[in-house]
Amino acid sequence: MQQNNLVTGRDIVIVGQQAWDVEIGSNNKNLAVKYSQHNRVLYVNPALDRITLIRKKKEPKIQKRLNVIRGREDGLVSLQDNLWNLYPDTIVESITWIKSKFLFGILNKINNRRFARSISKAIKKLGFKNIILFNDNDIFRSFYLKELLKPDISIYYMRDFVQAVDYWKYHALYLEPKLIAKSDLCLGNSTYYTGYCKKINPYSYYVGQGCDLEMFSNLEDKTPPEEFNSIPKPIIGYVGAIQSIRLDIDLIAYIAETRPDWSIVLVGPEDEVFKECKLHGINNVYFLGSKPMEQLPSYINAFDVCFNPQVVNQVTIGNYPRKVDEYLAMGKPVVGTKTDAMSIFAEQAYLATTKEEYITFIEDALRNNDPSLPEKRRKLALSHTWDKNTADVYFGINNYLLHRKNKRK
């Protein structure tokens, strides 16, 4: 990371949708670690909401939060040098079911005040000053934090189009644009999200996506998992969450039925729609279920072609597909649905706009044995580092600070 791109000696408070103890990977956590190399960072878990407390009270994670709320444990935890994690000592009300914008607004402001009080106590304890507030897509709980915490800089980070998700969309539809507008600057991890933000806030910057690809680029054991012993080649494979909101069932069925000599292998947890769908009745479609993260490289390595058969909708059109980096890091040919976010892979992946193109591109990928291609694919994937991602965040911050300085002259 170049020195002139650095942001150093600042106090950064990060809020978002994912707690530090979440099992899955998180952009926010990776960025927090990077920020802490040159700044002090407070990573704030989402406040415990009433419905989650009622439904999951006996779970260890909820008990941990209750102990903090009851004063039995300290909610401020040191993770490493310059990096702390806060378990808020408050409960917020579950209000997304409320349709009245007026009533929702009143209750959401109360939730924000509770959340902000907890954060303020931690800020005071740590001696943070002139904070940078980094909001990772947390539209409701953090809507008023700019006013309540009075940060020196407020940043909104967009990496999902939550307006299209049932839980969020009713109130996010009008609140997210307002949050983007009042933030000092906005960051998008895809060109699509950046473009969306820029229409509302001129200080919007594309920061790309960082990936942890070491386990995908250094596979030592090339032996395929035993499940592949009974699966005929060639194998066209997918690894990831198998959700109907993201994957095109009809497209997958078309590929399987058009080319019964291909094996279509799907690795990952299925949602209810997929569990009941027609794909389970097609002989050359194989559902292998969820696998531990550390085993995924061996499954990808067993694929002849990797594919990303996205359905195009508001959720997927701007979503950065990290799995494509994982495929490419292993040197595998990739065929995916053409979207704005997929455009950064255009040089090393086949981007299809029709189901017929999927067939053509997979055939071409199976035929093309150019020995230089695997290394080109790996090179592209490995350029998407957290260092680069962090440097682009810092570029946006420094650009905004320069603008603010010039405006005050």
- 185-188 and 204-206: which strand pairing? parallel
Give 132's strand partners. 12, 153
pLDDT attached to residue 212: 80
**Angle at CA of residue 117, ends 103 and 17, nearest 5°:** 70
pLDDT attached to residue 346: 92
pLDDT attached to residue 4: 56
What average pLDDT does the structure give for the chain? 92
Asked if 282 and 257 count as a contact pair (C-beta separation under 8 A), the reply is yes
- Given the candidates 3.40.50.2000, 1.50.10.20, 3.40.50.300, 3.30.70.141, the CATH classification of the domain at 214-382 is 3.40.50.2000
Percent of the chain residues past pLDDT 90, beyond the cut: 76
- 91-92 and 83-86: which strand pairing? unpaired
Which tokens hold the place of 346? 């255009």
Q: How confident is the model at residue 25 (pLDDT cuts 50, 70, 90)?
A: low
Higher pLDDT, 218 or 121: 121
Asked if 84 and 76 count as a contact pair (C-beta separation under 8 A), the reply is yes
Cα–Cα distance for residue pair 389/384, rounded to 1 Å: 7
In this structure, how many other beta carbons lie within 10 angstroms of the beta carbon of residue 21? 12
- Given the candidates 3.40.640.10, 3.40.50.11010, 3.30.450.20, 3.30.420.40, the CATH classification of the domain at 3-210+385-408 is 3.40.50.11010
Cα–Cα distance for residue pair 270/337, rounded to 1 Å: 20
Asked if 7 and 394 count as a contact pair (C-beta separation under 8 A), the reply is yes
Residue ranges, comma separated, of all CATH 3.40.50.11010 domains in the chain are 3-210+385-408
pLDDT attached to residue 24: 65
Report yes or no on whether pTM surpasses 0.85.
Answer: no
Query: pLDDT, tens digit, for every residue of 73-84?
Result: 999 999 999 999
Query: pLDDT, tens digit, for every residue of 344-364?
Result: 899 999 999 999 999 999 999
Backbone angles phi, psi at 34, to 5 degrees: -65, -45
Cα–Cα distance for residue pair 269/253, rounded to 1 Å: 18
Task: Cite the beta strand spans of 67-226 per DSSP E.
Answer: 76-80, 83-86, 91-92, 132-136, 153-158, 185-188, 204-206
Residue ranges, comma separated, of all CATH 3.40.50.2000 domains in the chain are 214-382
Cα–Cα distance for residue pair 108/393, rounded to 1 Å: 29
